[in-house]
Structure 1
Amino acid sequence: MTCTVTDLACARGGVTLLERVSFALHPGAALCLRGPNGIGKTTLLRTIAGLQPALRGSVTLPPDAIAYAAHADGVKDTLTVAENLAFWAAIHGTPGIAPALEALDLATLRDRPARELSAGQRRRLGLARLLVTGRPLWVLDEPTVSLDAASVARFAGVVQAHLGQGGMALIATHIDLGLVADVLDLAPFKARPRSGISGFDEAFA
Structure 2
Amino acid sequence: MELVVDKLAVARGGVTLLEGVSFALAPGRALILRGPNGVGKTTLLRTLAGLQPAVAGRVSAPPESLTYAAHADGLKAVLTVEENLGFWAAIHGVGGVGDAMARMNLLDLRDRRAANLSAGQKRRLGLARLLVTGRPIWVLDEPTVSLDVASVALFAGVVRGHLAQGGMALIATHIDLGLDEAAVLDLAPFKARVTVGSGGFDEAFA
Which bin holds the TM-score, normalised by the shorter protein? over 0.9
User: d(CA) in 2 for partners of 1:35 and 1:119?
Assistant: 26
Q: Secondary structure at the match of 1:11?
A: strand
Which SS does the other structure have where 1:162 is aligned? helix
Partner residue of 1:96?
Answer: 96
Task: Number of aligned residue pairs: give it.
Answer: 198
Matched with 1:117 is: 117
Residue 171 of structure 1 corresponds to which residue in structure 2?
171
Counterpart of 1:130? Answer: 130
Whether 1:55 and 2:55 are equivalent positions in the alignment is yes
SS of the residue aligned with 1:88?
helix
Q: Which runs of 4+ in 1 moved over 2 A?
A: none
Task: Determine helix, strand or coil for the equivalent of 1:155.
Answer: helix
- Counterpart of 2:141 in structure 1 is 141
Check 1:93–1:194 CA distance in 2 against 1; reply closer, same or farther (3 A cut): closer
Alpha-carbon spacing, 1:190–1:98, altered in 2? closer, same or farther (3 Å): same
Counterpart mapping for 1:190-205 below 5 A: 190-194=191-195
| Alignment deviations for residues 80-130 of structure 1 (CA, whole Å, 9 cap, x no partner) | 000000000000011100000000000000000000000000000000000
Partner of 1:105: 105
Q: SS at the partner of 1:44?
A: helix
| Distance apart, 1:193 and its partner CA | 4.2
- Distance apart, 1:194 and its partner CA: 4.0
Q: Does 1:183 align with 2:184?
A: yes
In the alignment, the residues of structure 2 paired with residue 82 and residue 98 of structure 1 have an alpha-carbon distance, to the nearest angstrom, of 8
Which amino acid letter does the alignment assign opposite residue 11 of structure 1?
A
- SS of the aligned residue for 2:59 comes to strand
SS in 2 for 1:68: strand
- Say yes or no: does 1:27 pair with 2:27: yes
Structure 2's unaligned 5+ residue stretches are: 197-204
CA distance in 2, matches of 1:57, 1:157: 33
Distance 1:178 1:59 in 2: 28
**1:194–1:130: structure 2 CA closer, same or farther, 3 Å change rule?**
closer
Asked whether the equivalents of residues 8 and 55 of structure 2 are also in contact (C-alpha less than 8 Å), the reply is yes
Contact 2:81 2:113 survives alignment (8 Å): yes
| DSSP-derived class of the 2:152 partner | helix
* Structure 2 counterpart SS, 1:47: helix
In structure 1, list runs of 5 or more residues that go unmatched: 196-203
